[in-house]
């Protein structure tokens, strides 16, 4: 539950908390019957004393906004049930009007994680963001200056929905380093790869359609596919990526509409699909004529070993729709990603993009084009490839030092993430408030699984935290796990409390 605390403020913390919850209740964000987080858990998440939360909840109870029930905890009270309540006679009952599309989005575990990660006393290992101190800011400054000087009237204007022509060509050449030349007309510029995924889902998936995904997989993809009403067919992964051997039977039996995969340095697991499985996956997809969406933000960030061809590079028959982004190798703020695929698909996606947002910021597109065309992006990626493995190793060293016997983890050959498992059946959702208390956050692996599995897994990011913070973050994580193990037998009530979803 999002609460933002201002520790410099004159307003006592308990009033800051009660005020914000009050606002959410009156805004309809917390409908009647919603269970507030247990006091102890809320206190741990916010990094305050339990008495502060008790006082905050009492304030709300005094106003009749919440009620305490033995065994049920604190719940939002039922206001007048007719429409003549606190909101005025004629207020529109918005909850009756909303479509079901966005209901799937409310993952309380992720909201908690986001809230904890934003605390200034918390070191976040939960994100998927490149190191901000490596952003080529001066270069961007001079490029934007140049762009506006020479082409302001054009670059502040609309541009074609499909994207800025020279950028489409440059991205085709960027990909062609590894594979055959790519026609600019086969490239669509999108506002980040999240938009790319969304357009693909809206263009290819009707409600009820089946999509093969890896389990775990990118959670933004889970959200997009769920919002499209698709049913998910998870295939487990192992050290060689998606277990393609399980796929043939599944395809023959269920005839899925799409296969979605992140073959290289996968988010969240850091794993990579072997060459042999890539070949077999493509063969199967071709045989059954099932399109593959290859989501590939990380493959150029390989730190060791031999590069593997992308599925798109192996594809001779137009079966693979390739998706990537500048957000991981440059920075996310420009919101630039791209799709490369068969031209009928690109055209259809462009029609959809025209409805969704008309076009993508042409100034940002020009700057990315210039970075590509003048070789800056390649230089920048080379720099990342020299710095990130050092950070990965810092984290691996810290894990060896602090987490032996508490966690198991892998050693990724590229990308942003180490993937870990809590031992002895501990659950990451129980660890999160404890970790918050010790001042560290991680991404809960459960949120990357389509089926409530992966309860003991977690994702650790080594690109965002400052190198000097990595050891301390892992030390805090170890302390939190130890603390959770210690409290486990002693406090059954906690396990019971956390078994109900938090708001």
Burial degree of 315 (CB within 10 A; 0-12, 13-18, 19+): buried
Residue 328 binds a copy of itself (CB under 8 A)? no
Give me the least distance between CB of 200 and a copy of itself, in Å please: 11
CA-nearest of 388, 425, 348, 435 to 161 is 348
Q: Contact, 323 vs 337, CB < 8 A?
A: yes
466 near a copy of itself, judged by CB under 8 A: no
* 220/309 with CB nearer a copy of itself: 220
Q: Which of residues 283-312 bind a copy of itself (CB under 8 A)?
A: 286-287, 289-291
Q: Which of 11, 86, 176, 358 binds a copy of itself (CB under 8 A)?
A: 358
Q: Which burial class, exposed, middle or buried, applies to 432 when counting CB atoms under 10 A from its CB (0-12, 13-18, 19+)?
A: buried
* Shortest Å distance, C-beta 492 to a copy of itself: 35
Among the listed residues 77, 250, 352, 387, the single contact to a copy of itself using CB under 8 A: 352
Site for a copy of itself in 128-147 (CB under 8 A): 129, 132-133, 135, 137-138, 140-141, 144-145
x/- string (CB under 8 A) for a copy of itself, residues 408-437?
Answer: ------------------------------
Strand stretches in 286-361, DSSP E: 292-295, 320-325, 337-340
**Of 186 and 456, CB closest to a copy of itself:** 186
Q: Does 159 bind a copy of itself (CB under 8 A)?
A: yes
The answer to whether 431 and 458 have CB atoms below 8 angstroms apart is yes
Query: Which of these, 150, 130, 129, 148, lies nearest to 140 by C-alpha position?
Result: 148
Closer Cβ to a copy of itself, 69 or 149, answer by number: 149
| Interaction of residue 5 with a copy of itself, rule CB under 8 A | no
Question: Where does this chain touch a copy of itself (CB under 8 A) — which range of 234-242, 344-352, 379-387, 441-449?
Answer: 344-352
Is there binding between residue 58 and a copy of itself (CB under 8 A)? no
Q: Per-residue contact track with a copy of itself, 206 to 245, x per CB under 8 A?
A: x-------------x--xx--x------------------
**Site pattern 22..41 for a copy of itself (x: CB under 8 A):** -x---xxx------------
Footprint (CB under 8 A) of a copy of itself, residues 102-131: 102, 105-106, 129
Helix ranges (H only) for 118-230 are: 137-155, 165-176, 193-204, 219-227
At which residue do the structure tokens 């919101």 appear?
A: 335
Beta carbon nearer to a copy of itself, 358 or 499: 358
Alpha-carbon distance 342 to 292, whole Å? Answer: 12
Q: Measured from the CB atom, is 327 or 498 closer to a copy of itself?
A: 327
Residues 118, 300, 267: CA angle, nearest 5 degrees: 45
User: What does the block give as tokens for 321?
Assistant: 């729709």
Which of 167, 158, 168 is CA-nearest to residue 341? Answer: 168
List the one residue from 69, 149, 180, 253 that touches a copy of itself (CB under 8 A). 149
Q: Which stretch binds a copy of itself (CB under 8 A): 60-68, 355-363, 423-431, 437-445?
A: 355-363
Pick between residue 54 and residue 129 the one whose CB is nearest to a copy of itself: 129
Please report whether residue 489 would count as binding a copy of itself according to CB under 8 A. Answer: no
The reply on whether position 364 binds a copy of itself by CB under 8 A is yes
Scan residues 75-104 and list those touching a copy of itself (CB under 8 A): 87-88, 90-95, 97-99, 101-102
Beta 337-340 vs 187-190: how paired, if at all? antiparallel
Burial (CB count <10 Å: 0-12, 13-18, 19+), residue 231: middle
Shortest CB 17 distance to a copy of itself, Å: 17
Q: Is 87 exposed, middle or buried (0-12, 13-18, 19+ CB in 10 A)?
A: middle
Residue reference for tokens 């914000």: 20
Tokens of 457: 């897994």
Residues in 254-273 that interact with a copy of itself by CB under 8 A: 257
Nearer Cβ to a copy of itself, position 28 or 85? 28
Which of 192, 415, 444, 454 touches a copy of itself (CB under 8 A)?
Answer: 192
Buried b (16+ CB within 10 A) or exposed e, 289-313: ebbbbbbbbbbbbbbeeeebebbbb
Query: To the nearest whole angstrom, how small is the minimum distance from the Cβ of residue 274 to a copy of itself?
Result: 23
* 191 counts as binding a copy of itself under rule CB under 8 A: yes
Q: Looking at beta carbons only, is 39 or 294 nearer to a copy of itself?
A: 294
Q: Distance between CA atoms of 30 and 7, rounded to whole angstroms?
A: 25
Q: Where is 307: in which H helix or E strand?
A: none
Among 215, 264, 360, 441, binds a copy of itself (CB under 8 A): 360
Nearest-approach distance from CB 162 to a copy of itself, in angstroms = 11
Q: Which residue, 210, 161, 474, 209, is CA-closest to 339?
A: 161
Q: What length is written for the chain? A: 503
Q: Give whole-number Cα distances, 276 to 97, 237, 260, 282, 386, in Å.
A: 50, 14, 18, 10, 28
354 is an interface residue for a copy of itself by CB under 8 A? yes
DSSP state of 319: -
CA nearest to 48, candidates 115, 125, 123: 115
């Amino acid at each position: 539950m999002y609460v933002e605390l201002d520790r410099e403020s004159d307003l006592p913390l308990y009033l800051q908390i009660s005020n914000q919850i009050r606002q959410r209740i009156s805004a309809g964000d917390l409908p009647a019957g919603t269970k507030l987080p247990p006091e102890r858990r809320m206190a741990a998440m916010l990094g305050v004393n339990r008495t502060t939360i008790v006082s905050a909840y009492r304030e709300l109870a005094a106003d009749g906004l919440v009620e305490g029930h033995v065994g049920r905890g604190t719940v939002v009270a039922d206001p007048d049930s007719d429409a003549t309540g606190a909101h005025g006679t004629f207020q529109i009952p918005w909850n009756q009007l909303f479509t079901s599309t966005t209901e799937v989005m409310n993952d309380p575990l992720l909201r908690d994680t986001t809230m904890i990660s934003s605390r200034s006393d918390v070191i976040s290992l939960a994100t998927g963001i490149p190191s901000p101190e490596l952003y080529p800011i001066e270069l961007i400054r001079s490029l934007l200056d140049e762009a506006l000087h020479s082409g302001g009237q054009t670059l502040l204007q609309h541009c074609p929905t499909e994207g800025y022509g020279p950028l489409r060509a440059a991205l085709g050449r960027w990909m062609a380093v590894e594979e055959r030349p790519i026609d600019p007309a086969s490239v669509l510029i999108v506002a980040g790869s999240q938009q790319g995924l969304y357009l693909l889902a809206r263009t290819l998936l009707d409600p009820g359609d089946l999509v093969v995904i890896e389990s775990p997989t990118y959670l933004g993809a889970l959200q997009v596919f769920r919002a499209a009403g698709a049913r998910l067919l998870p295939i487990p992964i192992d050290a060689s990526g998606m277990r393609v051997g399980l796929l043939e039977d599944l395809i023959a039996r269920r005839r899925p509409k799409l296969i979605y995969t992140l073959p290289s340095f996968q988010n969240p697991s850091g794993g990579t699909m072997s060459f042999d499985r890539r070949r077999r996956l493509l063969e199967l997809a071709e045989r059954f004529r099932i399109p593959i969406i290859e989501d590939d933000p990380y493959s150029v960030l390989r730190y060791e070993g031999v590069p593997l061809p992308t599925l798109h590079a192996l594809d001779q028959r137009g079966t693979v729709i390739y998706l990537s982004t500048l957000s991981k190798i440059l920075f996310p703020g420009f919101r630039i990603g791209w799709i490369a695929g068969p031209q009928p698909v690109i055209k259809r996606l462009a029609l959809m993009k025209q409805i969704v947002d008309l076009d993508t910021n042409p100034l940002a597109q020009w700057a990315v084009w210039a970075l590509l065309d003048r070789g800056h992006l390649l230089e920048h990626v080379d720099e990342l490839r020299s710095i990130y493995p050092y950070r990965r190793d810092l984290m691996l060293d810290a894990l060896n030092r602090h987490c032996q016997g508490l966690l198991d983890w892998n050693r990724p050959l590229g990308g942003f993430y180490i993937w870990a498992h809590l031992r002895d059946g501990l659950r990451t959702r129980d660890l999160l408030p404890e970790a918050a208390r010790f001042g560290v956050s991680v991404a809960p692996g459960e949120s990357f699984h389509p089926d409530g599995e992966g309860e003991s897994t977690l994702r650790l990011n080594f690109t965002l935290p400052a190198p000097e913070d990595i050891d301390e973050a892992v030390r805090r994580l170890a302390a939190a796990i130890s603390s959770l193990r210690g409290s486990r037998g002693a406090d059954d009530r906690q396990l019971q409390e956390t078994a109900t979803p938090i708001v």
